[in-house]
Structures are given as C-alpha cells and as structure tokens.
Structure 1
Amino acid sequence: MPHNNTENCSISHFRYPLFTSTYSIVLIFGLPLNSLSLWILVCRNGLKKSVPVIYMANLALSDLLFTLSLPFRIIYFATGEWKMGNILCMIPGTFFAVNIYSSSLFITLISVDRMLAVVYPLRSRQFRTVPMAWVFCAIVWLIIVGMAVPTALNHPENMDKNCNVMRCFEKYSDTNWKNGFTILCCVSFFGILVPFCIILGCTVAVVRQLKGYSMATSSCNTELSKSKIVKLFLSNLLIYAICFIPFHIAFILFGLNKLGILHGNNTLQLYFDLHTVTMCMASTNSCLDPLIYYFSTKTIQGRARCDSASKTVGLGLVQSMSWNGQ
C-alpha cells in the first residue's frame, strides 16, 4: 500500500514504469510456465500416488492465480487511473497476498516432507501419504481464505481528491493503513518468519544427516549425490529469502515510519522506494517455481518406481532426489 508522498498527479515516479514492466515480464513468463507446470503435474504425474506432486500442484495453482490477476495491475500502473470498479480492485491486491503466504506455506510443507524423507524415511511414512497431503493442503487454503477476506476489504478503490482520479493499490486512507499494518505484522510472523525458521531447521537437519550417509545405489538406477541434495535445500531457502524476507522487512519499516512509530529525517521516501523494489522482487517468485518444476519432471516421473523400494535410509534419499523442484 504505497504512500501518497507527493502531490504530483503524473505517473513519472519510477514505481509506475517499474511495476508495469515487472508485472508484464512476470505475466509473460509466469502464465504459460505455471499453466504448463500445472498440466504436467496433474495430467501427466497425477495427484493420487505422489505426495510431492500434490504440494507442487497446489503451489503452481497459487502462482497461476496470481499471474491471472496481473493484467489489472499492469493496466493501472500503465495509466495511473483505476476505471474497473471496486470488486476488481480488491481481487488483484488479495491475490498478491494469497500468493505470497500460500507459497510460503506450501514451500514449508515441501521442505518438511523432504526432511522427513531423508532424516526419518521409515518412521515418517505414515505421515507422508496422499490423504495426509490433501489434509495439509486443505488447511493451508482454509488459512489463506480466512486471511483473504480482511485483506480484500482493506484494499478498496479510493478517490484521489488532489488529482480527481480513482486509485487502486495505493494512496489508502490512514484507517486502511493502520488496519493493513496490523494484518501485515500478524501474517509476517505466522506466514513468513515461522515458516522460514522451519525451512532453515529442515535444511540444517538434512545437512547434518547427510554427513553420516554413504551414498547408495537404488533399484531405479538413480545416482545419489549429497551435494545435489544439499543444493536443493539451499536453493529453496535462498529463493525464499530473496523473494519474501526483503519485502516484509521493507514494508514493516515503511509502515512504522509512516505511522510515526519509527522516526527519522527524510527516511519515509527511502523506505517507500525500498518497499517498491522489494514488492517487485516478491512478485517474481511465481516465475521461479515453474522453472524448477520443468527441470524436475523426469525425476518426478521416476518416483513411482522407487516408492515400492523405499525400505532403507539410502532409498529415502532416492525419494528426496525424486522430489526435486518442489
């Protein structure tokens, strides 16, 4: 929710072309990639046998919903005026939040699932089942729907009286800002900080466990590599940190400054610009996941042949490698 830090009614501020170009690029790549990913995951791999495919399909669906809402954002930031009504103003803003926090939660589920497959391959089998996966996904979507309602109500269109134009995605009232900041602090803790700590813990647990493993060969002729498994966890952790953590830090700093809680000379504009850049960084997450899906399709297809042989710790590693790219 950018701040109306200037009375200038033009769209010359760098956020307008930056948002327009960033969202256009995300739409161009994200829409076909997420559509293809979802088709591959659902139609080719199926949702009845593979737990990781279920998590990835839900993640792809979240990304797809976000990319479908981008044309509304592109039109607005290209013109600087909203003409499509209040409902269509609330939907794109809501889908942005839905994508961030659903992605965070699904990536957390994926990381926990991988960790269990590597660290506790036998004891965790009862938890890594298709019915349980669907239960966890349903819980995530219920949480997201519950969060989406207050988010949508707090993102209405609003009249910019100084410029006599209707605005969306920015220049909210002080009441909207206070409500939005409260919501942001809550979801930042439960939807970002806690999942990030869980993902970090899973990464550490896997790295420690792999130090004691000697590489084995599976019945599926899968080549196991400690470095590949570690890089798999670290890459997800890095993507998570780049896309989500900076956005929330910048948003909280900006909100604290705007509400008068955090004081500083000429810092509001700095935090506002930082928030703008990090919001663009957060939106690119929907383009990164499909690329990982694409490069992991072959290993996912081989998982079904490996599941029946997953009786040892070494074969637990095969499961982890077959879940590459979630």
Structure 2
Amino acid sequence: MNFANNTCNTTTDLQEYQHKVYAVVYSLLLLPGLLGNGLAIYVFRVYVKETKKAVVFMMNLAVADLLQLLSLPLRIYYYLYNSWPFGHPLCMICFYLKYVNMYASIYFLVCVSVRRCELIMRPLRYDASRRKSDALICACGWLLVCLGCLPFPLLRNPSSEQNSNAGDRLLNSEVGALQNGPVCFSELPMRTVSYPAAWALLIIAELLGFIIPLVLVSACTFLTAWSLRDKTEGAIADRGEKRRALKILLSCALVFLLCFAPYHVTMPLDFLVKAGALKSCSLRNTIRMCHPVTLCLASLNCSLDPIMYYFTTHEFWRRFSKPEIPESMTFSRRMSCLTGGEGQEEE
C-alpha cells in the first residue's frame, strides 16, 4: 500500500496497514515460538543443576519468551477482527506482558553474556555459592523489570480520549472508522504527561533498557574474542571452550541488535509523533509505518532465542543425542568436578 501522498488525515489506512503487519507477524511467530521455548524449558530444567554455564539465565529467558507468546492469540484476534471483546483488565495484562518480555529478554541476554565471559576470564571464582546467587539475580531481575514496565500500561487512559495529546487526537478520533468495538494496546489514548516527565521516562528507558545493556554485551563479546589471542597456559587451556563461549556471546549480540536495537531507535521518534512535536505529515506517517515493524522485530526474539540455544548450547545436543542421562554419567561428571576436570565435560 502506497502512503507516499498520504496526509495526516489518512490515519485509517495507516492503522489498517499496522493491523495487517501485526496479525501476519504474530501468527508466524506463535507456533515455532511455543514449540521452541517449551522444548528449551524442558531441556534446561534437566541441566540447570549440572552445569554452571548460564543455563539458569537461559531458562528464565525462555520463560519470558513463553509469557509473551501465550498472549499472542488474543493480539492476533484483535488485529484480525479490529475489536477487543475480552475486557480492559486482560487488555492491560497483554499490553504489559509485551514490554515485560522485551526488557526481561534484554536483562537475561546480558546475564548470559556476563556469566559466559566471567567463566572464561575468571573460571575459578565460580563455586556453589555463586550458583545459588544466580537464582537471586533472576528474582531481582524479574522484580526490577516488572516494576520498571509499569509506566507503559499506567500511562494509558481507557476511559476517554479527552486527555490524548494534540498529535494523536486525530488518530484516536478516526479509530472508530476501522474498529468494530473497544480499542486496545497502542491505540488506547495516552494520559496527559508533562514534557519533562515524558522525556525523563524516555531517557531512562533508553539508557537502562538499551544503551547500558548494549555496552555490557559488546564488552563481554570483545573480551572473550580478545582472550582467544592469548596463547599462554591458563586456567582454561582449551581454546575450543573459548570459541564455544564466543559463539554464544555473538549469538546474544546478534539477537540483541536485530530485535531490540531497531525498536529503541524508533521509540523516541514515535514519542515525538504522539507528542505532536513533528509537523511534517509525511514524516509522521513514515514513522508510524516503521514503528510497527520494529515492534514486531522486538517480538522476533521469541523464535530466535530457541534457535540460539540449539546451535550454541551443548546441553541441547547432549539431550537430543542421549534421551536419558545415565546415572554413571552423572556420577562421572561429579567426580570430574571434584578433580578439576569440569571444563572438559561441560561446554
């Protein structure tokens, strides 16, 4: 559909385009994501107590992806039939889960990257007490993400459109031309927020949710790659071990950049559109066309993460090659840990 000559009054066509994009992408992601993350949780629950190498973080990442995937059928229904008959509370829950998944995924990708880098750079510092602390790190992460994402649903006002800003008032008034019932998700009108408060929230979201995690993932990848240049004898003499760790870190960085970077580039631009700060109708429409695509890319990680687990995590290969873990293998691994040979048994 060509929007080249559209003006600001053609928001109905833009909304129809957005609904089609969401419905198609979410439908394609649903089944592979459910199967992949369900399998990941099944595999990781077996190995979470056996290995020290970030499996607990990967399992929490799979749980975060699964939470969002479970809300996709309702989203697909809304974008196909242009109506939300399920009530406002469920709308807010689905809307909220979208952002919880995205920032929980970012948090646990960072945890995976930091842990794998730490095990390469300082392998002897990880012990049983550190393994127990991983569960605390996960719990704190969930708490911080859930609290940090509360502004997303709280800033929506379902009761009326009188509080919507000037930039989106026209869009909200024309939703009825396409909608067959109550609206939901991003089409809910925004509450009135002062510009300083809005910019403060935006800067915090960009800084804590994207820039700092990007720096951490990039630093861990660089340090692990640099360690391959060191040919001296150390605590980890197996260069294959470092290569496997680097492969996981590169996969985390790729998922991070492909899925989350585009969204965090268009998010401030979309905010400017909603705030009515952009006067050019063509620029406003272009941003409204691009933002749904980047939001779909942010959901793509639900299907990409299981692929990352399969191709980079040795636990998956061991599980598929040996359906059951023999007791003798478990005993052998425990003895290997006691004798300092764990690095040869684990990835």
TM interval, shorter chain, is 0.7 to 0.9
Does residue 305 of structure 1 match 2:336?
A: no
- Cα distance in 1 for residues equivalent to 2:139 and 2:25: 31
Bigger CA radius of gyration: 2
- Cα distance in 1 for residues equivalent to 2:123 and 2:15: 56
Q: Which amino acid aligns with 1:22?
A: V
- Cα distance in 2 for residues equivalent to 1:226 and 1:9: 53
Which of 75, 78, 91 is the equivalent residue of 1:76?
78
- For residues 69-119 of structure 1, the C-alpha deviation after alignment (integer angstroms, 9 at most, x for no partner) is 111110100011111111111011111101110010111011000111111
Query: Secondary structure of 1:82's match?
Result: coil
Paired position in structure 2 for 1:150: 151
Q: Which amino acid aligns with 2:73?
A: P
Does residue 192 of structure 1 match 2:210?
A: yes
| 2:25–2:296 contact (8 Å) kept in structure 1 | yes
User: Whose helix proportion is higher, 1 or 2?
Assistant: 2
Paired position in structure 2 for 1:33: 36
Pair 1:11–1:46, CA change in 2 (3 A)? same
- Cα distance in 2 for residues equivalent to 1:50 and 1:234: 19
- Unaligned 5+ segments in structure 2 are 1-7, 161-171, 320-324
Paired position in structure 2 for 1:252: 268
- Cα distance in 1 for residues equivalent to 2:11 and 2:272: 24
Q: Which amino acid aligns with 1:40?
A: V
- Cα distance in 2 for residues equivalent to 1:48 and 1:226: 20
| 1:20–1:77 contact (8 Å) kept in structure 2 | yes
- Cα distance in 2 for residues equivalent to 1:234 and 1:49: 21
Q: Which amino acid aligns with 1:74?
A: I
1:89-100 to 2 correspondences below 5 Å: 89-100=91-102
Query: Secondary structure of 1:58's match?
Result: helix
Query: Secondary structure of 2:68's match?
Result: helix
Does residue 173 of structure 1 match 2:189?
A: yes
Which of 101, 115, 135 is the equivalent residue of 2:117?
115
- Unaligned 5+ segments in structure 1 are none
Paired position in structure 2 for 1:20: 23
Pair 1:87–1:47, CA change in 2 (3 A)? farther
User: What's the CA shift for 1:294?
Assistant: 3.1
- Cα distance in 2 for residues equivalent to 1:310 and 1:206: 26
- Cα distance in 2 for residues equivalent to 1:270 and 1:83: 30
> Which deviates more, 254-263 or 93-102?
254-263
1:1-326 to 2 correspondences below 5 Å: 6=9, 13-42=16-45, 44-47=46-49, 50=52, 52-122=54-124, 124-126=125-127, 129-155=130-156, 157=158, 162=174, 163=176, 165-175=181-191, 183-213=201-231, 224=240, 227-261=243-277, 264=280, 266-295=282-311, 296=313, 297-298=316-317, 305=333, 308=337, 311=340, 322=347
- Cα distance in 2 for residues equivalent to 1:283 and 1:182: 25
User: What's the CA shift for 1:280?
Assistant: 0.9
Q: Which amino acid aligns with 1:308?
A: C
Q: How many residues matched?
A: 310
User: What's the CA shift for 1:16?
Assistant: 1.2
User: What's the CA shift for 1:60?
Assistant: 0.7
Compute the TM-score of the two structures, normalised by the length of structure 2: 0.77
Compute the TM-score of the two structures, normalised by the length of structure 1: 0.82
- Cα distance in 2 for residues equivalent to 1:267 and 1:11: 13
Pair 1:113–1:299, CA change in 2 (3 A)? farther
- Cα distance in 1 for residues equivalent to 2:156 and 2:50: 38
CA RMSD of aligned residues (A): 3.4
Q: Which amino acid aligns with 2:216?
A: I
Pair 1:226–1:148, CA change in 2 (3 A)? closer
- Cα distance in 2 for residues equivalent to 1:191 and 1:128: 28
- For residues 39-91 of structure 1, the C-alpha deviation after alignment (integer angstroms, 9 at most, x for no partner) is 1111x224475452211111111011010011111010001111111111101
Query: Secondary structure of 2:150's match?
Result: helix
| 2:228–2:239 contact (8 Å) kept in structure 1 | no
User: What's the CA shift for 1:310?
Assistant: 8.3
| 2:156–2:189 contact (8 Å) kept in structure 1 | no
